């Protein structure tokens, strides 16, 4: 085969654009440009924006979560401090109450002791008074009895007199023994 | 497509010193001409057009699959597409125009980058093996769009006089040489700029394809007698050049978009 037969026409200047090729070239480019500019690139731009927003949203969410965690932590810390404070306060209060109670009990004990002592004293006094009363009556009676006996018997004999007195005293002692 | 549409090296049954006396059938301008698949001389449809449309469908298909129902947590395909998108958006547009000014040009630049890249990539795709951008019409069309864009932005932003000053690099402090500078700047910006913008891409791809053709044809042509040793070297060069082209294709797409952004940057810049 001969090259010259293959190309029937003379080769023209390669720098002069043939019109049909120019037209087809422009059409081909317009097809590409049209699809990309009108449909496909807006599509991807939308998604790229969404992606950026998603990433930024994620960061914001994480930041919010961190802030919340921080605030919760602070809240817990505050609560804990408050609880500790409360416990200390309660302990202090209990201590104070305990001391007061002890004090009160001691005072009460003192008071009761004194009361008992006073009651004992009063009792003793009363007993003594009663005894003294009884003794006075008895002494009077005994004195009368003794006088009667002395009068009834002869007073001339000094020996008899002293015997009588001795007897009286003996009786008195015996009475005191019996009374005890 | 029929065999007549493309002339592959092995279709020329001609070898080094094979006695037929045929010379080395190096690549010519015919290598960049394709017989129309249908149509006549004025209105036709050929291989490069097919590749251009196919390339568009591939780009749209890829991004359709990746971005039709994008997810906040991306899958693999979406991740790849996103990184490509982000490369153009941040790496080129935001870098040159800034985020505020550049945002509305992002879709255009993304489309431009992937369009040019795929058109370049066809160069090393088996069976296609032709960079669409090696036909001047395709880079020229794109450069024209960019040209119209930055021109209209210039005049919209600065008004007619301001726009003119912007384009001609008006600067009072230059004094007596100002008129000369203005003429040069005007010529450079208004006439040369779109031409170089298109030709830079076209020429790179044209040259790359020529080199690949050269070594491919040579590998086949030398496959006779003593030439076999050289054919091996030539074939290694084919592999090396293919890898190099892969790199150049991406770089040229990047440069094309970067220049478009820098033209816009100049148009948007406040005049001092």
pLDDT digits (tens, 9 = 90+) for A18-77: 888 899 999 999 999 999 999 999 999 999 999 988 898 889 889 999 999 999 999 999
pLDDT value at position B12? Answer: 61
* Cα–Cα distance for residue pair A110/A102, rounded to 1 Å: 12
pLDDT band, very low/low/confident/very high, at A9 (cuts 50, 70, 90): low
Interchain contact A26–B (C-beta under 8 A):
yes
Taking contacts as CB-CB distances below 8 angstroms, the residues of chain A near B68 are: 39-40, 43
Residues 66-125 of A with CB under 8 A from B: none
Report how far apart, in Å, the C-alpha atoms of A10 and of each of A32, A122, B74, B161 are. Answer: 33, 161, 53, 46
β-strand pairing of B44-45 with B38-39: antiparallel
- A7 has a pLDDT exceeding 50: no
pLDDT value at position A1? Answer: 35
Residue with tokens 């910006």: B189
* Cα–chain center distance at A161: 92
Q: B146 is written with which tokens?
A: 């960019």
Is A25's CB within 8 Å of B81's CB?
A: no
Interchain contact B109–A (C-beta under 8 A):
no
CB A25 within 8 A of CB B141: yes
Compare all CA atoms of chain B with the CA of A31 and give the residue at the minimum distance: B56
Interchain contact B231–A (C-beta under 8 A):
no
Which of B63, B138, B140 comes nearest A36 by C-beta? B63
More confident: A139 or B96: B96
Q: How many angstroms away from the CA of B113 is the closest CA of chain A? A: 11
Compare all CA atoms of chain A with the CA of B136 and give the residue at the minimum distance: A17
pLDDT digits (tens, 9 = 90+) for A102-116: 999 999 999 999 999
Would you tell me how many other CB atoms lie within 10 Å of the CB of residue A143? Answer: 11
Q: How many angstroms away from the CA of A78 is the closest CA of chain B? A: 43
Compare all CA atoms of chain B with the CA of A50 and give the residue at the minimum distance: B72
pLDDT value at position A90? Answer: 94
Percent of chain A with pLDDT over 70: 88
Is B49's CB within 8 Å of A50's CB?
A: no
pLDDT value at position B35? Answer: 79
CB pairs under 8 A between A and B: 141
Interchain contact B229–A (C-beta under 8 A):
no
Interchain contact A18–B (C-beta under 8 A):
yes
In chain B (272 residues long), the average pLDDT of successive 10-residue segments reads: 43 70 76 81 86 94 92 90 94 92 93 96 91 93 96 92 88 87 92 94 94 89 82 92 95 96 90 54
Q: Average pLDDT of chain A?
A: 85
CB B143 within 8 A of CB B130: no
pLDDT value at position A140? Answer: 75
pLDDT value at position A157? Answer: 64
* Cα–Cα distance for residue pair B35/B41, rounded to 1 Å: 10
Q: How many angstroms away from the CA of A52 is the closest CA of chain B? A: 9
Is A11's CB within 8 Å of B63's CB?
A: no
Report DSSP state, residue A156: S
* Cα–chain center distance at A156: 99
More confident: B184 or A152: B184
pTM, two decimal places: 0.71
Phi and psi angles of residue B184, each rounded to the nearest 5 degrees, phi first: -65, -45
């Amino acid at each position: 085969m001969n090259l010259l037969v293959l190309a029937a026409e003379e080769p023209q200047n390669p720098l002069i654009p043939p019109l049909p090729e120019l037209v087809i070239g422009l059409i081909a480019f317009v097809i590409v440009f049209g699809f990309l500019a009108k449909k496909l690139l807006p599509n991807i731009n939308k998604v790229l924006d969404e992606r950026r927003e998603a990433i930024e949203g994620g960061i914001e969410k994480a930041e919010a979560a961190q802030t919340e965690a921080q605030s919760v932590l602070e809240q817990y810390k505050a609560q804990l401090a408050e609880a500790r404070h409360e416990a200390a306060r309660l302990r202090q209060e209990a201590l104070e109450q305990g001391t007061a109670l002890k004090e009160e009990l001691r005072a009460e004990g003192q008071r009761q002791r004194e009361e008992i002592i006073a009651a004992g004293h009063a009792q003793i006094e009363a007993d003594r008074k009663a005894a003294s009363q009884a003794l006075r009556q008895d002494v009077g009676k005994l004195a009368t009895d003794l006088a009667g006996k002395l009068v009834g018997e002869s007073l001339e004999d000094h020996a008899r007199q002293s015997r009588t007195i001795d007897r009286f005293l003996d009786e008195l002692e015996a009475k005191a023994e019996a009374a005890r | 497509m029929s065999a007549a549409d493309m002339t592959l090296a092995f279709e020329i049954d001609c070898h080094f010193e094979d006695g037929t006396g045929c010379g080395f059938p190096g690549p010519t301008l015919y290598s960049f001409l394709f017989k129309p698949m249908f149509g006549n001389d004025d209105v036709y449809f050929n291989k490069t057009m097919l590749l251009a449309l196919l390339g568009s469908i591939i780009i749209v298909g890829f991004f359709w699959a990746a971005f039709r129902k994008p997810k906040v947590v991306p899958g693999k395909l979406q991740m790849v597409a996103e990184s490509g998108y982000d490369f153009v958006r941040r790496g080129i547009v935001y870098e040159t125009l800034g985020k505020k000014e550049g945002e509305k040009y992002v879709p255009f630049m993304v489309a431009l980058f992937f369009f040019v890249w795929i058109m370049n990539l066809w160069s090393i795709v088996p069976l296609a093996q032709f960079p669409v951008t090696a036909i001047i019409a395709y880079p020229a069309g794109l450069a024209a769009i960019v040209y119209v864009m930055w021109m209209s932005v210039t005049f919209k932003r600065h008004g007619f006089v301001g726009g003119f000053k912007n384009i001609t690099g008006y600067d009072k402090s230059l004094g007596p040489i100002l008129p000369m500078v203005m003429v040069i700047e005007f010529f450079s910006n208004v006439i040369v700029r779109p031409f170089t913008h298109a030709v830079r891409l076209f020429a790179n791809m044209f040259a790359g394809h020529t080199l690949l053709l050269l070594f491919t044809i040579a590998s086949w042509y030398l496959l006779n007698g003593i030439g076999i040793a050289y054919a091996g070297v030539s074939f290694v060069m084919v592999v090396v050049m293919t890898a190099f082209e892969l790199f150049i294709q991406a770089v040229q797409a990047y440069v094309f978009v970067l220049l478009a952004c820098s033209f816009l940057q100049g148009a948007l810049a406040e005049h001092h």
